[in-house]
């Protein structure tokens, strides 16, 4: 579920990778970037919708 949450948060318009990276506790930004590259692989995932809701809440926490 963490993977989907991070990926969905990165996909939102205006997403700030630095904030998402901090939330995910990634020390290296390349780790966060890997989630962004695999975005299309999550379509049809069973946890996709639940994680999407969490990602929206995370992105709204400014």
For 21-57, write each residue's pLDDT tens digit.
Answer: 998 999 998 888 887 776 666 666 777 777 777 878 8
Using a cut of 0.85, tell me whether the model's pTM lies above it.
Answer: no
In the chain, the percentage of residues whose pLDDT exceeds 90 is: 8
Question: End-to-end CA distance of the chain, in Å?
Answer: 22
Ramachandran class of 25: left when φ > 0, alpha when ψ lies in -120 to 50, beta otherwise? left
Can you spell out the DSSP letters for the chain? -HHHHHHHHHHSTT--HHHHHHHHT-SSHHHHHHHHHTGGGGTT-TTHHHHHHHHHHHHT--
pLDDT reading at 2 higher than 70? yes
Cβ(35)–Cβ(6) below 8 Å: yes
């Amino acid at each position: 579920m963490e993977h989907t949450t991070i990926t969905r948060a990165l996909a939102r318009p205006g997403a700030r990778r630095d904030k998402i990276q901090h939330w995910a506790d990634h020390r290296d930004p390349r780790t966060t970037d890997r989630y962004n590259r695999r975005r299309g692989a999550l379509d049809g995932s069973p946890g996709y919708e639940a994680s999407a809701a969490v990602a929206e809440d995370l992105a709204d926490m400014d």
